[in-house]
Amino acid sequence: MRIRTSQAGDRQAIAALHAQAFGPEEGPEIASLVDDLFADPTARPLLSLVADEHGVIGHVLFTPVRLPGHPDVPMQILAPLAVARSRQGEGIGSALVRDGLARLTASGTALVFVLGHPGYYARFGFRPAGARGLDAPYPIPAQHADAWMVQALGHLPAEPLQGRVRCATALDQPRHWCEPSEQ
């Protein structure tokens, strides 16, 4: 398996992977989100990585976010991450996340956010963001508050960073910030 930057020719395979990995309820919505982010000029510069083993078996996407009052602090969000169901549990997702974080560190990104399972993302250094005064674009229900996480990769300004994070237009929609049962 090798991890590489995705190419335009990978887009159909990436959409199919997300649809399959997230299942019939969430898969079409996630695949559509990925397509929308690829087309969204506010999602630039993006980092799209695939795990390739005779085809796309994993994908992770990072897109820029901003924090009002801090336009010079480079920040990204990890959304989404998918691994083929038949290959889950083999470390493919972890390899994609680690590679992405290394590339973002090298590019000077200061913070990376994620909305995901705390038990999974904590292993990469992510910690609850709300407790640090960094709010998700839309309110996260109290029972899921620890799922909104952040990791510092680089140099941060001396003044504390606080406020509501804003995402690319395609991701900055309420439906992407709640459980399907809460919609």
The C-alpha angle with vertex 115 and arms to 110 and 121, in degrees rounded to 5, equals 75
Using CA atoms, how far apart are residues 57 and 14, in angstroms rounded to an integer? 9
Q: What is the pLDDT of residues 87-119, one digit of tens each?
A: 999 999 999 999 999 999 999 999 999 999 999
> What CATH number did the domain enclosing 100 receive?
3.40.630.30
Say if residues 137 and 168 touch (Cβ distance below 8 Å): no
The reply to whether 182 falls in a domain is no
In a domain, 183, yes or no: no
Residue 180 belongs to some domain of the structure:
no
pTM of the model: 0.95
- Greater confidence (34 vs 142) lies with 34
Residue 41 confidence (pLDDT) above 70 = yes
pLDDT at 181 over 60: no
More confident residue, 97 or 177: 97
Residue 159: per-residue pLDDT? 78
Q: Is residue 181 part of a domain?
A: no
Structural domain of residue 118, as residue ranges?
2-173
Domain presence at residue 179: no
Residue 149 lies in a domain: yes
